Amino acid sequence: MNQNHWQNKRIVITGGTSGLGQALAHQLDQAGAQVVIVARNEQNLAKTTQGTNIHALRGDVANKHDIYRISGETAGILGGIDYLFNNASYLGQSPLRLLLDTDCEDIEQVLQTNLVGLFRLTKAFLPSMLLQNSGTVINISSDAAVSPYPEWGGYSISKAAVDHLTRIWHEELNEQGIRFLALDPGDMHTPMHLAAIPDATPSELHAPSDVARDLLSFLSQTASTTNAQVRYGRSEWATTGITA
Ligand SMILES: NC(=O)c1ccc[n+]([C@@H]2O[C@H](COP(=O)([O-])OP(=O)(O)OC[C@H]3O[C@@H](n4cnc5c(N)ncnc54)[C@H](OP(=O)(O)O)[C@@H]3O)[C@@H](O)[C@H]2O)c1
């Protein structure tokens, strides 16, 4: 990772208390960035920030009443923002189920978290990025956005929608210096993966810390481009490290 790139960068990570989000937060903190993480569970926020310079914000991205508080408190802490990682996500009811067996309220909750919440939060942070004519929004996607895996219905449609949202944001704002990416991290050994596929073999999954390292490396290497990039599978963006 290019450590210098991240020095003093102002960064918000949703879902920063577990899995990929936590690994990103810790690596960015180590690299000298100013990091704010957002999640709902206070204990996990405290554990993640202990012994670091990371700022914790309790908030639910699916709750519209939390959005302006999150962006307002972030402005108070960071002043502005350079990177927004829209990483928090809801898988839907576990065990996963066919669409026919899925509660409408559950689809609603998936879309509120993964799509509408992400849209609201992005919208709340964009004015600050537009004022400085720069900023990067990374939407964490999934191969489920393109593969119609049975039983992954709500989650899959939310990620497909986020990918297209990313392309449209790009068309509308890239000339004003805002960069939008949707990146699929690949299968990782995290609580979300465990909820989806409890009998997966951990050694066959990527460690979130490895994915975070490669993701930050990719972002710093491509920092000067404003092309929209929706990339599936780590082979499409990871430039170092892990195979599989
Ligand atoms: N794991 C995989 O194999 C895999 C594969 C492809 C894509 N992805 C994507 O990668 C991203 C990270 O996944 P992960 O596996 O690292 O997840 P994870 O370990 O389950 O962590 C999820 C994080 O999101 C937070 N969160 C969930 N709902 C939230 C809400 N409504 N508001 C605020 N925070 C919320 C959780 O904290 P609280 O519960 O305390 O809020 C937690 O910090 C997700 O976008 C996921 O879709 C994962």
Instruction: Tell whether the model's pLDDT for residue 8 goes beyond 90.
Output: yes
| Residue 224 banded pLDDT, cuts 50, 70, 90 | confident
Q: Is the CB of 208 under 6 A from ligand 1?
A: yes
Mean pLDDT of 7-17: 98
**Distance, C-alpha 153 to centroid of its chain:** 20
Task: Please name each of the domains of the chain with its CATH number.
Answer: 3-236 (3.40.50.720)
- What confidence score (pLDDT) does residue 240 get? 47
Report residue 137 as tokens: 């929004």
86 bridge partner residues:
139
Question: What are 126-181's pLDDT values in tens digits?
Answer: 999 999 999 999 999 999 999 999 999 999 999 999 999 999 999 999 999 999 99
Look at the block and give the residue holding tokens 């481009």. 225
Cα-to-centroid distance, 158 and ligand 1 (Å): 14
Q: Which of 93, 165, 188 to mutate to test the pocket of ligand 1 (most atoms within 8 A of CB)?
A: 188
CB-based burial label for 56 (10 Å; 0-12, 13-18, 19+)? buried
Mean pLDDT of 99-106: 97
Entry pTM: 0.96
Instruction: Tell whether the model's pLDDT for residue 211 goes beyond 60.
Output: yes
Q: What are the strands of the beta sheet with 83-86, ordered from one edge?
A: 55-58, 34-39, 10-14, 83-86, 135-140, 178-183, 229-231
Question: What are 22-60's pLDDT values in tens digits?
Answer: 999 999 999 999 999 999 999 999 999 999 999 999 999
Q: Is the CB of 60 under 6 A from ligand 1?
A: yes
Q: CA torsion, points 71, 72, 73, 76, in degrees to nearest 10?
A: 120
- What confidence score (pLDDT) does residue 212 get? 97
Q: Is the CB of 122 under 6 A from ligand 1?
A: no
**What is the 8-class DSSP label of residue 188?**
B
Question: What are 67-98's pLDDT values in tens digits?
Answer: 999 999 999 999 999 999 999 999 999 999 99
Question: What are 106-128's pLDDT values in tens digits?
Answer: 999 999 999 999 999 999 999 99
The Cα 178–Cα 195 span in angstroms is 34
By alpha-carbon position, which residue is closest to atom 32 of ligand 1? 60
Q: Which of 14, 28, 19 is nearest to 206 (CA)?
A: 19
Q: Which of 159, 8, 189 is nearest to 87 (CA)?
A: 159
Cα-to-centroid distance, 87 and ligand 1 (Å): 6
The Cα 208–Cα 192 span in angstroms is 12
Mean pLDDT of 5-34: 98
Q: Is the CB of 62 under 6 A from ligand 1?
A: yes
Q: Which of 27, 141, 192 to mutate to test the pocket of ligand 1 (most atoms within 8 A of CB)?
A: 192
Report residue 109 as tokens: 């909750």
